[in-house]
Structure 1
Amino acid sequence: MPQESSHRVVVIVEENSNPFELGCATEVFGLHRPEIGGHLYDYRLCSPQPHTPMRDGFFMLTGVAGLHVADTADTLIIPSRTDLDTPRDPAVLDALRRAHTRGTRLVSFCTGAFTLAEAGVLDGRRATTHWQWADTFRARFPAVHLEQDVLYVDDGDILTSAGSAAALDLGLHVVRRDHGAEIANSVSRRLVFAAHRDGGQRQFVERPVPDLPDESLAPLIAWAQQRLDTTLTVAELAARAAVSPATLHRRFQTQLGTTPLAWLTAERITLARRLIELGENRLDVVARRTGLGTTANLRALMRRETGLTPSAYRRRFGPQPTPAPAE
């Protein structure tokens, strides 16, 4: 069990910050977790102004510390904002530059990458942001190497995530990095959230394997998720990641707490569930599109993973028939 952490995580809350991502940061980094020995981090909020209107003016955030607390952070987080054409607060940009200079780990959620880029700390670095704003980001910050085909990018001391819900994916990745897979899996179970979700809306862009393979599994996961209807093997995954099967196995165990084959099966079942939820009634089609092969294999694995047969799952979670209008 971890001891109470002295690693300080600070979130800068600006006008029009997204409350969902603030909640994600608080849930992952800020809560007391008695099941794993207490707080994982010393968590603080700060703002450049004493009264901060949140996104669309839904509510006002008050009672948090001033921006000076950002200077005490070991990890500094920037949530997203919707007003991308509004210049960022110069005091916030200065705080980010100071943090970067002293070696603080910087994290952005969604369009928070725009704030990091405006501060100049992303020049020459890898980053991602919400797929909807990828073209805008590239046009505005051509010196940043934008990757829009992944949920998040871990570039060492700077980490960026894609759309809002990917804040949870990146947050759990940070916990894995800091505390190991067992603790991260405990947090994900408390969240009732998978260690890696199946993606959602993203721009899928092919890109070559880098000469120095990324230690993060995110690029490989994004690549494999596009090919679940094929007969992927662990050897093929290892070849894509430019590592040996044994090395890939170690990375999956370290970062996800599972094996490559178990992860691949779970992803196929997740896709099968989505297809059934969207109304696909032909089990042979579901089996083929998920790479599970046969309806018998689909039935067996769905029962094992969900406790329900495909038919029972469809009755519970599939589209409900529209009632006939009363005459």
Structure 2
Amino acid sequence: MTSTQSRPAIAVTGLRKSFGDHVVLDGLDLHVPRGTVFSLLGANGAGKTTTVRILSTLVAADAGEVRVAGHDLAREPDAVRAAIGVTGQFSALDNLLTGEENLLLMADLHHLGRREGRRRTARLLEEFDLTEAARKPASTYSGGMRRRLDLAMTLVGSPQVIFLDEPTTGLDPRSRRNMWQLVRDLVAGGVTIFLTTQYLEEADELADRIAVLDHGRVVAEGTAEELKRRIPGGHVRLRFADPQGLDAAVRVLGQATPDHDALALRVPSDGSLRSLRTLIGRLDDGAVEVDELSVHTPDLDDVFLALTGDSSDGKVTTR
């Protein structure tokens, strides 16, 4: 691995931003590896969009150090802009232009030659399944088509890092899943995605790592599974073929909650492989036969509420 490849796509230390007396970001630290999806999760007003606006050079920070795609944000803003793409909450399309014309306009803005601009436009229209609608006005596009065109426009400049600020807000479930697949394909091609979202399911599906933002500070960071294991309530449910098996398991495991009607036993567990090995080993040592085993862990709803309380100024949704 080269030194360039080993450098993070985004490195943030001590980022601060206030608007008047209102502190929006209060010492934010982030580290985003290249070629991954990093999700910043938080309620409305938590500081997600402000973070994206600072990292994409649209708003100046009050304090902190930031490097994006290896470039210092304060000293090399033009280099940062050349390396990134931004897709905001609302499609940045010209409704009077066709889909093809919107892409060609972006090619002109990126100073691509006429031939290269048309080649890249045709490729993106095909990749984003917009070829048939290419010469129709963007005003006639559905919500999902508009978001796909918006993302395609972001890719005209071949960015190394893409900021997706709540990219699936307002989309129906099918369009949302189509967008998720586009994101996966981009990352497979080496692009880094910085995703902000209110949809817990979206972060769970896409993110390699998740940071939970609350009142301008990161209160937890890790993979979705790591975050879930931090929250009490995880357990393993064991079912048995007969009451004798259930009673034997109760004697062997001790700290567990039996359900005699269902012939089941609920055993506290963080769901990790290590804890499952320990549990299965104790059952084997006691010669206890288990008919069925299932692992239950808290979801990101539980994580968010546990880490931020229920006092957020907005909401996070699983839709």
Query: Which range, TM-score by smaller chain?
Result: under 0.3
Larger radius of gyration: 2
With normalisation by structure 2, the TM-score equals 0.27
Higher relative contact order (CA 8 A, sep 6+): 2
Structure with higher helix content: 1
